């Protein structure tokens, strides 16, 4: 470290923990501070609210189960957005990709439930990944070959996905005799095991998808930083011209990155449809795809960061609902305000404190070098 910064002309470096821990923490505190002011204005005690929030997210077994269940979704969508980021692509379509994956899961679980669980569950998971991947690969192809901007096409694909889902559920997959647009309940053979099935904990929606999320995070790390494919994706993301010069096809890698991105987003369908609801419903994605963008931004597109950011958002979702439940003056709009402030400070206003903090540590490291 000091050796590097001692070299003439290289910029002074900031310790890694500042980047990964301190700056996010400062941003978070700023967000909590402003939220506290808002809660105070509404006429409540901000400290009590914070206590309810934290207790509601981590205070007892049920709460932890729900927090981790939300976290699972955010890990999937966070990873999905991150892999696209590594290729220089902004995938806003994780929501639609997750929705389509639900369709894949649903079709497999509805029509293949005569198979034993060790066959039908892998098929359903594979279908989820494939449907999600396809839904992302099409915009990827349009970007790579036709130059249609990925942001526009992925947003549009969200709406197309929603329309397809509505059509399928209202016209075709609706439970016989049912009124609301949802499929019949899947046969129990297709259900993913809940954590409370094999651990002595209360009933929560937490299921083994959480394990999938951890495994995929590890696979993500290995893929992006330790394989040739990951390397190519990163090169394309950083400099397309250089990639071409090095014999790497940008088009191929854009499609590949989007394909993987969609497959990752598709695991939301596994968690929600196969893990929790056991039936295909309309709005199971509930905005997880969009929050995934914030998760990836906060997590610096690194699996560890994404896990922490996903945990934070999971806690906010669970603690937030607790807040709305326990304190009457805090309604759900208020909870959205608090969540929004946190996204604002850690995503959009990321550079508010960064220059000052970095400058402080750079000064420190240069003085150290000078002393040395």
Partner 1 sequence: MFKQIKLAAIAATVVAAAGVANAAEFKPAIVFDMGGKFDKSFNEAAFNGAEEFKKGSGIDYMEFEVTQVSQREQAMKRMAKKGATIIVAMGFAQASAVEKAAKANPDTKFTIIDMVVDLPNVQSIVFKEHEGSFLVGMAAALSSKTGKVGFVGGMDIPLIRKFALGYVEGAKYAKSGTEVFQNMTGTTPSAWNDPTKGGELARSQFDRGADVVFAAAGGTGIGVYQAAKDSGKFAIGVDSNQNYMHPGTMLTSMTKRVDVAVKEAFATAKAGTWQAGIKVLGLKEGGVGYAVDEHNKGVLSADVVAKLEKARADIISGKLKVTNYMSK
Residues that bind partner 1 (CB under 8 A): 48, 51-52, 55, 59, 66, 69, 159, 162-163, 165-167, 170, 174, 179-182, 185, 203, 205, 272, 276-277, 279, 281-284, 286, 317, 321, 324-325, 331-333, 335-336
Closest distance to partner 1 from the beta carbon of 263 (Å): 23
In this complex, which beta carbon is closest to partner 1, that of residue 142 or of residue 281?
A: 281
In this complex, which beta carbon is closest to partner 1, that of residue 230 or of residue 275?
A: 275
174 DSSP 8-state letter: S
Which residues are CB-contacts of 294 (< 8 A; sequence separation ≥ 6)? 309, 313, 343, 346, 347
d(C-alpha 185, C-alpha 135), whole Å: 25
d(C-alpha 82, C-alpha 98), whole Å: 15
In this complex, which beta carbon is closest to partner 1, that of residue 301 or of residue 318?
A: 318
Closest distance to partner 1 from the beta carbon of 179 (Å): 6
In this complex, which beta carbon is closest to partner 1, that of residue 218 or of residue 336?
A: 336
Closest distance to partner 1 from the beta carbon of 58 (Å): 11
Closest distance to partner 1 from the beta carbon of 149 (Å): 23
Closest distance to partner 1 from the beta carbon of 99 (Å): 9
Closest distance to partner 1 from the beta carbon of 54 (Å): 9
Alpha helices in 142-188 (DSSP H): 150-167
Q: Report yes or no: 131 and 101 within 8 Å, Cβ to Cβ.
A: yes
Which residues are CB-contacts of 39 (< 8 A; sequence separation ≥ 6)? 45, 46, 49, 330, 334
In this complex, which beta carbon is closest to partner 1, that of residue 59 or of residue 347?
A: 59
d(C-alpha 76, C-alpha 212), whole Å: 9
In this complex, which beta carbon is closest to partner 1, that of residue 115 or of residue 286?
A: 286
d(C-alpha 69, C-alpha 341), whole Å: 23
Q: Output the CA angle 350-355-361, nearest 5 degrees.
A: 120
In this complex, which beta carbon is closest to partner 1, that of residue 4 or of residue 48?
A: 48
d(C-alpha 274, C-alpha 280), whole Å: 9
Closest distance to partner 1 from the beta carbon of 350 (Å): 26
313: helix, coil or strand? helix
């Amino acid at each position: 470290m000091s050796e590097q910064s001692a070299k003439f002309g290289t910029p002074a470096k900031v310790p890694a923990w500042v980047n990964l821990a301190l700056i996010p923490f400062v941003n978070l505190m700023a967000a909590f501070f402003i939220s506290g002011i808002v809660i105070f204005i509404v006429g409540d005690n901000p400290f009590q609210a914070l206590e309810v929030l934290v207790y509601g997210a981590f205070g007892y077994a049920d709460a932890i189960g729900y927090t981790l269940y939300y976290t699972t979704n955010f890990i999937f969508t966070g990873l999905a957005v991150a892999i696209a980021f590594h290729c220089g692509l902004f995938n806003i379509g994780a929501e639609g990709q997750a929705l389509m994956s639900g369709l894949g899961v649903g079709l497999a679980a509805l029509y293949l439930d005569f198979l034993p669980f060790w066959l039908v569950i892998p098929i359903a998971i594979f279908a989820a990944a494939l449907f999600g991947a396809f839904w992302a690969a099409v915009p990827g192809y349009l970007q790579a070959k036709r130059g249609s901007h990925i942001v526009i096409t992925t947003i549009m694909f969200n709406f197309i996905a929603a329309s397809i889902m509505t059509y399928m559920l209202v016209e075709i997959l609706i439970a016989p005799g049912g009124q609301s647009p949802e499929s019949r309940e899947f046969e129990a053979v297709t259900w993913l095991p809940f954590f409370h099935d094999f651990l002595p904990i209360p009933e929560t929606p937490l299921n083994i998808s959480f394990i999938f999320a951890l495994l995929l995070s590890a696979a993500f790390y290995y893929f992006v930083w330790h394989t040739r494919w990951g390397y190519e994706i990163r090169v394309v993301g950083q400099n397309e011209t250089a990639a071409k010069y090095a014999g790497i096809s940008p088009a191929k890698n854009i499609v590949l990155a989007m394909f993987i991105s969609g497959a990752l987003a598709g695991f939301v369908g596994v968690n929600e449809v196969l893990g929790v609801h056991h039936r295909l419903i309309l709005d199971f994605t509930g905005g997880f795809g969009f929050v995934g963008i914030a998760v990836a931004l906060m997590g610096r597109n690194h699996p560890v960061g994404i896990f922490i950011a996903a945990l934070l958002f999971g806690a906010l979702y669970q603690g937030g609902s607790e807040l709305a439940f326990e304190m009457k003056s805090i309604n759900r709009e208020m909870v959205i305000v608090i969540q929004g402030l946190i996204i604002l400070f850690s995503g959009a206003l990321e550079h508010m404190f960064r220059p000052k903090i970095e400058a402080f540590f750079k000064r420190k490291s240069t003085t150290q070098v000078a002393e040395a």
